[in-house]
Amino acid sequence: MVTAKSMCDTYDANRQICKYVHSTSRGHEAIQLATGMQLLPCDWVSPYYRDDSIMLSIGFQPYELMLQLLAKKEDPFSGGRSYYCHPSSRDENRPFIIHQSSATGMQAIPTTGLAQGIQYLEKTQHNKMPTTDGQLPIVVCSLGDGSVTEGEVSEALQFAVLKQLPIIYLVQDNQWSISASAEEVRAMNAYDYAQGFKGLRRWQCDGSDFIRSYETMAEAIAYTRTERKPALVHAKVPLLGHHTSGVRREFYRSREDLLKHGLYDPLPKLRLLLTDVGIAEHVITDIEKQAEEKVQADFQRAQTAPDPDPRSVEEHVFAPTPITEEKGQRSPKNGEKVLMVDAALHAIEELMEEYPEAILYGQDVGARLGGVFREAATLGEKFGEHRVFNTAIQEAYIVGSTAGLSALGIKPMVEVQFADYIYPGFNQLVTELSKSCYLSNGKFPVGMVLRVPTGAYGGGGPYHSGSVESTLLTIKGIKVVYPSNTADMKGLLKAAFHDPNPVVMLEHKGLYWSKVPGTEDAKMVEPSRDYLLPLGKANIVLAADISRVKKGETVCIITYGMGVYWAKAAAAQFPGQVEIVDLRTLHPLDEEMIFNQVKKHGKVLVLSEEQQNNSFAEALALRITNHCYHFLDARVEVMGALNLPAVPINLVLEAAMLPNAQTVQERIAKLLAY
């Protein structure tokens, strides 16, 4: 406890050196130390941004924490990329820690995903389950009381009690949410709130009293470790430090409030306890002196540690994928033509047969329905509800829980019912998944596949027809795939499964069954079981005649999804003069093929179903212009949908909004006329 206080005091006395924003555990030390001291190396813990006492109690040294404080190269958590007390660790001698973000409350979902994964490994008796002296692991998720009002915390609690997961939610309540007091922002504290979650065992304690904290955590940990059920501990603590180094306590707290909190300082209380039980004063003084000397020595040493190499700044955006070459038979002899939706179904079925760590979940994908597009039909019956199951309407949980599952070696494939409903999951996709590999310095890439039906078709209307690729592509650290036919669907889906990074599969629902006129070619011979198609490889689906190319009488269309079929229909009016490139993957993007084809033809149309303004298609057009300027015979044309806020439900209006073969034909003619 003296070490934690000394660290806080040292940072505050050296504000110019400690220039990066940070918080400390000052006032929270007792409950944090009581928690960490009782965790086992097989456990998982998610500290939040002021939990440096938890870090000390599970074995990390001040020097290691200070390397992150000062953003040094040898920072063991992020390599100088993230804030103080934003740890991640795979050290087998300490509890494991997945990537921790700054967004308060967001850690509840990935951490509950850890508990979900542990339960799955228990049920399947999988060899990936770590234990310590025969003890099964538990998960601890640390939260501030202010974060419990976040909706995503509710999603995590709902899932934990529904599935009865082995997790403890430790809520540290210091009565403040930055400058907002508890009375301003909540109707009840976390202990009272948790009463509404049936099946969640509750404790509360004075988190400034070490003995009470230790006893309470001992009970909660014993309960969760033996009963394998969720619990919540609400600990009331004083806030003795600043909210952060940049938002200091004197900015918003009165002298009376600071004095009131000071009465509950856990350090004098523990010191008094030690003297009461007969510990000599000189022994206590020696402990304090040694702790303070160690902190000062570690701080001096950390200051001289090297900064990160600037050349490392682009490392660990993605973990390397093992799928780099096309393998297997794309069109087996005597193969049977299947629909695109069936190719996806068969791909997942084959993966689940081969890999016991593969699971599938989302809204309505379970045995009763098998997905609203029947894209998971029969899988629930075949693999059981522990591997294929329904979730509630919880897009955030569906997306974010995959971070915890992936950390345990489980491979989740999840579904959001329509692209229009992906937005509640964006917080987790952006805040947690996309940054995990980069900010953990490569320790925790999130291997998951997120399937998203997308696109307009048959009067689906404004909330079932949207295209979201441009929004997705602004997120760095995820991959985005968009197959347009059966073979690509199967090969890309399997490659996505083997990719150790987050992959979003955009699947056009208008191509699922080839019911849209002109999309019959989406139905193809099903590739072999071992077929793999690497992400980032475009495909020429229609080649122009070489003779016309040499005469400068051709145009290249770069497109994907439904655009492939609009382009093919339009190209029929210009025999030999149109080359069509199907991107297949939007990130990573096959720039080499794109630029080569543009240079070859000199005239190019980028075609998309998305609303055109500020779209991926427009961004790609600029990239083409910049890289191929001297080879262009005309400016790069872009065609997308009309710039409307939604797809109208009326079929006539829907058609008026979207590109079609006729409008694409007119744009081709314009380019060829140059």
Cα separation, 519 vs 642, whole angstroms: 22
Residue 144's DSSP bridge partners are: 172
Cα separation, 427 vs 415, whole angstroms: 16
Instruction: State whether the Cα torsion 149-154-157-161 is positive or negative.
Output: positive
Cα separation, 514 vs 622, whole angstroms: 33
How big is the CA angle at 230 (ends 225 and 236), to the nearest 5 degrees? 100
How many CB atoms are closer than 10 A to CB 574? Answer: 17
Cα separation, 373 vs 515, whole angstroms: 13
- Whether 377 contacts 370, CB under 8 Å: yes
Q: Any alpha helices (H) in 59-132, and if so which ranges?
A: 62-69, 108-124
Bond preceding residue 588 cis, omega within 30 of 0: yes
Q: Within the chain, what is the greatest distance between any pair of CA atoms? A: 98
Q: Any alpha helices (H) in 499-644, and if so which ranges?
A: 546-550, 563-571, 591-601, 616-628
Cα separation, 88 vs 103, whole angstroms: 15
Pairing of the two strands 524-525 and 180-181: unpaired
For the chain, what's the residue count? 674
Pairing of the two strands 578-582 and 539-542: antiparallel
- Whether 330 contacts 96, CB under 8 Å: no
Q: Who contacts 23 (Cβ-Cβ below 8 Å, separation ≥6)?
A: 49, 50, 84, 85, 241, 242, 243, 244, 245
Where are the strands (E) in 222-289, listed by range?
231-236
Q: Who contacts 470 (Cβ-Cβ below 8 Å, separation ≥6)?
A: 610, 614, 615, 616, 619
Residue 142's DSSP bridge partners are: 170
End-to-end CA distance of the chain: 77
Task: Provide the token pair at 590.
Answer: 């096959």
Task: Provide the token pair at 3.
Answer: 């070490």
Cα separation, 310 vs 293, whole angstroms: 33
- Give the DSSP letter string of 348-372: HHHHHHH-TTEEEEETT-STTTS-T
Q: Who contacts 454 (Cβ-Cβ below 8 Å, separation ≥6)?
A: 418, 419, 466, 467, 468, 469, 506, 507, 508, 509, 561
- Whether 560 contacts 584, CB under 8 Å: yes
Which residue do the tokens 């008796």 mark? 125
Q: Who contacts 367 (Cβ-Cβ below 8 Å, separation ≥6)?
A: 379, 380, 381, 385, 388
Cα separation, 461 vs 475, whole angstroms: 26
Active site includes 630?
no
Number of helices and strands in the chain (H, E): 25, 21
242, 243, 464, 601: the active-site residue:
464
Which residues are marked as active site? 464
